């Protein structure tokens, strides 16, 4: 999705993005016209947001099937970029009215540098969702232990509502930087040059990924 937006912007198109920016603690990219909506917005609120965002639009790209039920009556052509599991019947039904785009049409790919920069010694980066069951308390405690040594913890990823106040307090105290949700391409770039990347998953659960040569080494919290 974010690669689509960047490609359109780079090609000189105007892009309006309807998304829950506030919920994910995200600042919209430069050049983008944002329309902020609550996460899991009702169809009525989604309909109103789409009406605002569709002014003078030439194309509407939808990434959630349920939003097809919230489309305004006056709208440009619609393309449904399928990112979820759906039945062939649902695809065929939607395909009679809209353009369908699947992973077979536009395969996902992540490009990284062939020669990653050497790790530094003042940054530790964690990439992933932040929640109580994902060790956010341990990460905040780790930030406090690293700070006296001049090492800063960067947290990249959305956070569960209940832990956001804790993260903001730790950020105000100068212990860490929380960036919220960042598109993968940019998040991997931000992680370059870090000393290490902590993970709170079991070592046996974290399979190595292809094409992630530029990410820092990871260590795990044992349970």
Q: What's the chain's average pLDDT?
A: 77
pLDDT bucket at 210, cuts 50 / 70 / 90: very low
Whether 212 and 127 map to the same domain: the answer is yes
Whether 64 and 145 map to the same domain: the answer is no
Whether 128 and 92 map to the same domain: the answer is no
| C-alpha 101, offset from chain centre | 20
Place of tokens 């530029």: 214
Whether 53 and 131 map to the same domain: the answer is no
Q: Tell me, yes or no, whether 106 lies in a domain.
A: no
Lowest mean per-residue pLDDT among 33-37, 169-173, 205-209: 205-209
Whether 205 and 142 map to the same domain: the answer is yes
Collapse the DSSP code of 168 into the 3-class scheme (helix H, G, I; strand E, B; otherwise coil) and give the result: helix
Q: Tell me, yes or no, whether 116 lies in a domain.
A: no
Whether 81 and 127 map to the same domain: the answer is no
CATH code (residue 195): 3.40.50.2000
Lowest mean per-residue pLDDT among 31-35, 65-69, 183-187, 211-215: 211-215
Whether 161 and 204 map to the same domain: the answer is yes
- Find out whether 131 and 163 touch, Cβ atoms under 8 Å: yes
Q: Tell me, yes or no, whether 108 lies in a domain.
A: no
Nearest Cα residue to 130 out of 73, 65, 188, 199: 199
- Cα separations (Å) of 155 from 50, 161, 191? 32, 15, 10
Q: Tell me, yes or no, whether 110 lies in a domain.
A: no
Cα–Cα distance between 157 and 191 in angstroms, integer?
12
Per the structure, the complete domain to which residue 14 belongs is given by 2-101
Place of tokens 């974010």: 2
pTM of the model: 0.48
Cα–Cα distance between 29 and 52 in angstroms, integer?
19
Whether 67 and 132 map to the same domain: the answer is no
Q: Tell me, yes or no, whether 150 lies in a domain.
A: yes
Whether 215 and 140 map to the same domain: the answer is yes
pLDDT digits (tens, 9 = 90+) for 73-127: 888 898 888 877 788 888 888 888 888 887 666 655 555 556 656 666 688 889 8
Q: Tell me, yes or no, whether 185 lies in a domain.
A: yes
List, in order, residues 6 or more apart from 18 with CB less than 8 Å away.
Answer: 35, 37, 46, 49, 50, 53
Count of structural domains, the chain: 2
């Amino acid at each position: 999705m974010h690669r689509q937006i960047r490609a359109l912007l780079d090609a000189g198109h105007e892009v309006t993005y309807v998304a829950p920016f506030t919920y994910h603690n995200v600042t919209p990219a430069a050049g983008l016209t944002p329309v902020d909506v609550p996460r899991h917005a009702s169809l009525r609120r989604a309909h109103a947001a789409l009406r605002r965002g569709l002014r003078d639009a030439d194309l509407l790209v939808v990434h959630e099937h349920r939003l097809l039920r919230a489309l305004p009556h006056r709208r440009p052509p619609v393309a449904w970029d399928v990112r979820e599991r759906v039945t062939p019947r649902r695809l065929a039904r939607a395909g009679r009215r809209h353009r369908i785009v699947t992973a077979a049409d536009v395969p996902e790919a992540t490009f990284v540098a062939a020669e990653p920069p050497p790790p530094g010694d003042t940054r530790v980066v964690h990439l992933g969702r932040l929640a109580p069951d994902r060790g956010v308390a341990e990460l905040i405690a780790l930030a406090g232990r690293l700070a006296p040594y001049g090492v800063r913890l960067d947290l990249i990823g959305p956070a569960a509502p209940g832990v956001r106040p804790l993260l903001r307090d730790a950020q105000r105290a100068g212990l860490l930087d929380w960036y919220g949700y960042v598109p993968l391409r940019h998040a991997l770039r931000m992680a370059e040059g870090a000393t290490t990347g902590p993970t709170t998953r079991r070592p046996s659960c974290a399979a190595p990924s292809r094409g992630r040569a530029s990410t820092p080494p990871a260590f795990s919290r044992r349970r």
